[in-house]
Structure formats: C-alpha cells, structure tokens
C-alpha cells in the first residue's frame, strides 16, 4: 500500500470539513504528506482557484491525489477537471468512492459540506486511501481512452 502525498483544498463553504479531513490525513499511516492550498480561516478564495491549484499539483506530480470540498462538491470537480490529465469526481457514498478509483482511476475526490455529514465524509476519505487502481484491470483501456482524448 503506497503512502500517499495528498493535497487538500476548499472554498469558504467547505472550510470546516477540509480542516477535519486534513487532521485525519495527517494522522493516517497511509499518508506521507499533506499540502493545503487553502482557504484558511480568514481568506475567501473562490472554488475555481482552489480547485485549479490542487489539480495542478497533482498534474505536475507534486501530489498523488487531492481532496476538494466546497458547498456541493460540484464546482470544485468541474474546476479540477479543466486541468489536463485530471480525473476529479464528486462522490458522497462508499460505493462511488470505491469505483472512482477502481473503475476511473480518479486522482481527485470532491465532496460537499452542505450535502453529507462529516462522519460520512471522513469515512469516505478513510476508505479512499485504501484503493489503488489496477492498470491490468479491464477498466484500464477505458481510462486510457479519456487520456487519449487529452493527447496523453
Ligand atoms: C458557494 O460559493 C458554493 O456555490 C460553492 O461552494 C460550491 O457549492 C459550488 O459548486
């Protein structure tokens, strides 16, 4: 099992969950490092800026994966997916979180603070850390098709 380098980010609407999840990640044996692209308690950066900053870290290979939180988990996913090579999903249930990695090799998990409870969000992250995409699986050629569209 790899020790993941994770980047976290949120807008104001996801700040509280981002802080809780960051602490969980910092305490996890499955996590090598946690970077935080904001917001902090006093800043008010819009979700597209935060999503792009986190996604670019993953695309540059400075982080393996990202967790993004906004009000719904939707805006940050749209923003992150604009970065070449990034597969970001909004997932709030255990099965979708699992499939986002095992079927889609998504590197970015997005959740909405106004959508699910904090304990479900924390559980999703705990489970997400345990999944590793299998490049020999039947899903790989489908993910490759997405990469090919981007010229990757
Ligand atoms: C608040 O700006 C809210 O719109 C945002 O957090 C997010 O839910 C957007 O998708």
Residue 74 CA: which ligand 1 atom is closest? 10
3-state class (DSSP) for residue 151: coil
Torsion angle of the four alpha carbons 90, 85, 125, 117, in this order, in degrees rounded to the nearest 10: -20
Mean pLDDT of 116-125: 98
Residue 70 bears catalytic tag: yes
3-state class (DSSP) for residue 92: coil
Best residue among 10, 11, 44, 81 to mutate for probing ligand 1's pocket (most ligand atoms within 8 Å of CB) is 11
**pLDDT of 139 higher than 80:** yes
Mean pLDDT of 125-146: 97
* Average model confidence (pLDDT) across the chain: 97
Q: Is the peptide bond before 39 cis (omega within 30 degrees of 0)?
A: yes
* pLDDT tier at 105, thresholds 50, 70, 90: very high
Encode pLDDT of 44-83 as tens digits: 999 999 999 999 999 999 999 999 999 999 999 999 999 9
Give the pLDDT confidence score for residue 2 in this predicted structure. Answer: 76
* pLDDT tier at 122, thresholds 50, 70, 90: very high
**pLDDT of 43 higher than 90:** no
Mean pLDDT of 21-25: 98
Angstrom CA distances, 100 to 35, 77, 122, stand at 22, 13, 16
Residue 72 CA: which ligand 1 atom is closest? 8
Nearest CA to ligand 1 atom 5: 71
**pLDDT of 41 higher than 90:** yes
**pLDDT of 30 higher than 80:** yes
**pLDDT of 90 higher than 90:** yes
Catalytic residue among 50, 70, 77, 125: 70
Nearest CA to ligand 1 atom 10: 75
**pLDDT of 8 higher than 90:** yes
Best residue among 45, 76, 113 to mutate for probing ligand 1's pocket (most ligand atoms within 8 Å of CB) is 76
Q: Is 74 in the pocket of ligand 1 (CB under 6 A)?
A: yes
* pLDDT tier at 150, thresholds 50, 70, 90: very high
């Amino acid at each position: 099992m790899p020790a993941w380098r994770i980047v976290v980010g949120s807008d104001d609407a996801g700040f509280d969950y981002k802080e809780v999840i960051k602490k969980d990640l910092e305490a996890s044996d499955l996590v090598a490092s946690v970077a935080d692209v904001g917001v902090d308690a006093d800043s008010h950066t819009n979700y597209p800026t935060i999503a792009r900053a986190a996604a670019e870290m993953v695309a540059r290979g400075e982080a393996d994966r990202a967790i993004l939180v906004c009000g719904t988990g939707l805006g940050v996913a749209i923003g992150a997916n604009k970065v070449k090579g990034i597969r970001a999903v909004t997932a709030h249930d255990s099965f979708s979180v699992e499939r986002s990695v095992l079927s889609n090799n998504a590197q970015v998990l997005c959740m909405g603070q106004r959508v699910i409870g904090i304990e479900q969000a924390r559980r999703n992250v705990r489970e997400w850390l345990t999944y590793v995409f299998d490049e020999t699986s039947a899903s790989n050629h489908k993910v490759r098709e997405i990469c090919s569209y981007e010229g990757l």
